[in-house]
Amino acid sequence: MNTIQTLILGIVEGLTEFLPISSTFHLIVTSKILGLEPTEYLKIFNVVIQSGAILALLLIYTKTLLNDSKLLLNVIYSFIPTGIVGFLLHNIIKNIFFESEILILVVFILVGAFFLVLEKYLSHNKIELTKDCSSLNVKQSILVGLAQALSVVPGVSRAGSVIVAMMCLGYKREEAAKYTFLLSLPTILGAGALDLYQGRELILSMASGWSTLLLGMLTALITAYFVVKWLTNYLSTHTLAIFGWYRLVVAGILIAFKVLP
């Protein structure tokens, strides 16, 4: 992997990890366009650059969690079902879900269409989005965690599943975005730790490649920091429709140019 490829993947990770457009989908597609084979090193690289994105959240939200014990507990409650599903299905996720380009593309399209249908429904005031994160209770936290568990399927988007679930419960879009950022911390750290543990032999045996990992992580960190700031402000005055249309347009382009499936 050369420097340009490293920077591109780091930027793609930082741009897409916290947007409801599936970072996994974009990393798979980008790697294919760049001609990178799905080697074990590439899998480790993707885990490491996710860590860079998480560092951006730590810089922004650590103080928030430490100063709000109720919010911290709700994040833990939400993480529990996600952690259980992720641990039990880890091998299936990595060896089956990630290997099916047709499944990934279909899911990517369906979620985009769902965003548009949901926003159309909301435009008729079927659900009032008035709540903030302080209104979350234990039951709702667990429901949000179950919704996030759906994101084990590549193309769903962890951020998208959490935001949609919270909107269906009546939470403001920007508050839903804030909660998905907070829930990302244990979710991505937990998944990343498991991946790194399983790939420990490769990591320990690497004679080179450390500079590439560091560059990718730093690129993802810087990019993600600005994306997190932008998304919260954007959703305070806009809907998810742009992300729905984005999914459909991108899928159409990939099909037209035979990139996927």
Query: What Cα–Cα distance (Å) separates residue 87 from each residue in 90, 122, 191, 192, 193?
Result: 5, 35, 8, 11, 11
Q: Are 164 and 135 in contact (CB under 8 A)?
A: no
* Rounded Cα distance, 152 and 98, in Å: 10
Q: Are 166 and 144 in contact (CB under 8 A)?
A: yes
Q: What are the structure tokens assigned to 105, written together?
A: 């593309």
| pLDDT score recorded for residue 177 | 96
Q: What are the structure tokens assigned to 60, written together?
A: 């922004």
| pLDDT score recorded for residue 12 | 98
| pTM, 2 dp | 0.94
* Rounded Cα distance, 176 and 180, in Å: 6
**240 contact partners, CB below 8 Å, separation of at least 6:** 20, 115, 118, 119, 160, 163, 164, 173
Phi, psi of 199 (to 5 degrees): -105, 20
All residue ranges of the chain with pLDDT < 70 are 94, 207
| pLDDT score recorded for residue 139 | 97
* Rounded Cα distance, 252 and 195, in Å: 32
- Scored b (16 or more CB within 10 A) or e, 76-111 reads ebbbebbbebbeeeeeebeeebbeebebbbebbbeb
CA angle 160, 16, 151 (to 5 degrees): 35
**231 contact partners, CB below 8 Å, separation of at least 6:** 18, 19, 177
**194 contact partners, CB below 8 Å, separation of at least 6:** 86, 87, 90
Burial zone of 166 (CB within 10 Å; 0-12 exposed, 13-18 middle, 19+ buried): buried
